[in-house]
Amino acid sequence: MSMNKDLDQVRAATQALHAAISDAAAKTGDAIKSEFEAAAQRAKGVTEAVKASMSAQSEATKKHLQEAVTDLEAVQKHAAEAMKASGQAFQASIRQTLADARASVQKVSEAVAAQRSAGSTKARH
């Protein structure tokens, strides 16, 4: 039960990060830069939470979580790039940050599904 709860919390954290990045992307001016800076820091915390939840997971679940970590690290990288860029490069970094965040949510959701599938297989035997 604890593994499922941990994964559910990680999924909620990645979803909240995606929402924060999406909200930040909708802003303009200096507000967007400060929001993206906060999102990059939040992504770092979510990345650590995903890594911490991996040890007790099945191999299939770990694979999805590792892919989520890769996407979350890309979120941090592209958010940092956005802080240094302007114009089209800034917009491209924002779009990529949002895409990476969306991908991380998807991978964590796949990890949750893999964990539930493994749990239901064990329950049948």
**All structural domains of the chain:** 2-124 (1.20.120.660)
Q: What dihedral do alpha carbons 83, 64, 103, 49 form, nearest 10°? A: -40
What pLDDT was estimated at residue 111?
A: 93
Each residue's pLDDT tens digit in the chain (125 positions)?
466 788 899 999 999 999 999 998 888 777 788 888 888 899 999 999 999 888 878 898 999 999 999 999 999 999 989 888 888 998 899 999 999 999 999 999 999 999 888 776 665 54
What pLDDT was estimated at residue 26?
A: 87
Helix H, strand E, coil C: the string for 56-123 is CCCHHHHHHHHHHHHHHHHHHHHHHHHHHCCHHHHHHHHHHHHHHHHHHHHHHHHHHHHHHHHHHHHH
What pLDDT was estimated at residue 113?
A: 92
What pLDDT was estimated at residue 117?
A: 86
Sole residue written with tokens 């999924």: 11
What pLDDT was estimated at residue 68?
A: 96
What pLDDT was estimated at residue 124?
A: 52
What pLDDT was estimated at residue 120?
A: 67
What pLDDT was estimated at residue 1?
A: 44
> What is the 8-class DSSP label of residue 56?
T
What pLDDT was estimated at residue 57?
A: 86
What pLDDT was estimated at residue 25?
A: 86
